[in-house]
Structure 1
Amino acid sequence: MEWIEWLFSREFRQFILDNNLFFPLLFLARVVGITAIEIWRPARPVAYRKVFPYDLTVFLVYQFVVFPVANQINEWVYLRPHLPDAILTLPLVLRVACYLVVADLGHYWIHRLMHHKALWRIHKWHHSPTYMYWLAGVRTTIPQQVLVNLPYIFAYSFLDLPPWWMYLAIGAFNSFQNDWMHVNVTWRSNWLEWFVVTPRYHHIHHSDSPLHYKANLAALFTVWDRLFRTYVDPDSITEPLTFGIGEEVPLVRLAVGV
């Protein structure tokens, strides 16, 4: 059929790019695909009809307010080093690997700092949900987003004039990474946790137990938790996890981070 051929054509791809439809369509695919997987293999019950409208609103606020404002602030406050040609001439796959490692290490330490008393308020909203599913991790204050952006801006120097599609690839990867960490699915592949964060690994971090407030802080590579002694083995958790911050805080204060 002609319309199917058009969907896989170069003209359709160009139409998507010209009209900035890549990320809206990606979000729609996430809503349908990831929710279907959660319903198929849920780790815990989630009242989607109750929580999804609120979280969708939060996502839109993030997309059109928090992220753009944070990016504007980062235009004034950032550090991007000039790397030697010996690094910039490496194959792209190696520079992407360097980008991921450096950015993730920086993210670990930014995240760890936000769990100290002085910065906890700007991160508290992220931990406020008493449920866990893929869209629950979208809560982010502007100060938090500014700080989290910093290691990624720093590490972007490894890419140095990347292909035109790299921005889309990084945006898609970051979206799925955040979805993956918070997704509400049953997970049993323990071996993967030697390398990357899994849902059950990160859910411990969202636990409302004081024992877990500074546990499993890594965003992508679990080596940082093991190396810096913030690792909690998911197999050691014997009681069902519950989530939230254990206190009532006005929504405006949570969203602003004060």
Structure 2
Amino acid sequence: MEVARLSIWLVLLAMLFVPVEWLFSLHERRGKARWADLGYYFLNGLLPGVLLAPLLATIAVLAQKATPAFYSDWVASWPFVAKLIAGLLVSEIGAYWGHRWCHEVPFLWRFHAIHHSVEHLDWLANTRAHPLDIVFVRLCGLTPVYMLGLASTPGAAGASAADTMIPVYVTLLGTVWSFLVHANVRWRFGWLEQVAATPAFHHWHHTNGAEGRDRNYAAMFPWVDRLFGTLHLPRDAWPPVYGIDKPVRGGVSDELLHPFRRDDDVAAAPVDKAAPQERG
């Protein structure tokens, strides 16, 4: 059932992005078969959710026990739309720091380097990531949503069906948006780029050039990077080169085992402590 659902989503995404990238491509499109990316698509559509479910359920129970009743009642009185918007904002900030730590902590970078080894960005390159990398960043994003009482687990006392869906909506929107910002399109959106993440915003995150490296960690809202001093979004410019100095190479199985191999030559987390000033 899950494989069928993912297959339908894959067809819909391909129907949207393949013609768009063909008409508005920024760089020359990759023409060869993308079996590894397709493998990652199905793997990361299945495994992270299975691993996250018990972790988030535990966090939700602990949060419910630790939250004062007056606070829970106050949040419960909010309209669903208000809780959903708050959940999006809180999740974005949590995921920002999870993503940033993946660049700054060497152990986490061993997993995240797989995603940054991609040297040709397009919509399907979004899927090339270690599942544990995805689990960590999503956990960082969704934990504060539960801790602040903005979402509930099914069966929790006083939980509405809508509240239990907030993490699902947050994750779904973030996932679809991630395909968009990886897309190989030359679109620019003017002042809207300061409000919502665009391909230009995220392409700069994948640069392997000196300018713009280790910037733009946010998933959907560039103002989060501006808030924490990591925004880099020059007008009318794109990264000259993508990837990392020592990319992770091999088949899917080799790449999945890569972070656990002590003898593998892994490039250090690429954070530049003397990074250039914010631009955007």
The alignment's TM-score, normalised by the length of structure 1, stands at: 0.80
Aligned residues of 1:114 and 1:123 also touching (Cα < 8 A): yes
Q: Distance in 2 between the 1:220 and 1:176 partners?
A: 10
Aligned residues of 2:87 and 2:170 also touching (Cα < 8 A): no
Q: Distance in 1 between the 2:150 and 2:179 partners?
A: 25
* Structure 2 counterpart of 1:244: 243
Q: CA deviation at 1:241?
A: 2.4
Equivalent residue for 2:145, pick from 145, 152, 155: 155
Residue-by-residue CA offset, 1:83-136 (whole Å, 9 max, x unaligned) = 521112111111000000000000111111111142211211111111000110
> Aligned Cα RMSD in Å?
2.7
Aligned residues of 2:111 and 2:130 also touching (Cα < 8 A): yes
Identity among equivalent positions (%) equals: 24
Q: Distance in 2 between the 1:165 and 1:248 partners?
A: 37
Equivalent residue for 1:142, pick from 114, 117, 131: 131
> Quick one: structure 1 residues 73 and 253, their matched pair in 2 at CA, closer, same or farther if it must change by over 3 Å?
farther
* Structure 1 counterpart of 2:231: 231
Q: Distance in 2 between the 1:77 and 1:167 partners?
A: 13
Equivalent residue for 1:87, pick from 65, 70, 75: 75
> Quick one: structure 1 residues 222 and 59, their matched pair in 2 at CA, closer, same or farther if it must change by over 3 Å?
same
Tell me the amino acid that sits aligned with residue 90 of structure 1: W
> Quick one: structure 1 residues 76 and 123, their matched pair in 2 at CA, closer, same or farther if it must change by over 3 Å?
farther
Equivalent residue for 1:53, pick from 35, 42, 45: 35
Q: CA deviation at 1:190?
A: 1.8
Aligned residues of 1:73 and 1:146 also touching (Cα < 8 A): no
Aligned residues of 1:43 and 1:184 also touching (Cα < 8 A): yes
1:214 aligns to 2:204 (yes or no) = no
Q: Distance in 2 between the 1:248 and 1:222 partners?
A: 27
The alignment's TM-score, normalised by the length of structure 2, stands at: 0.74
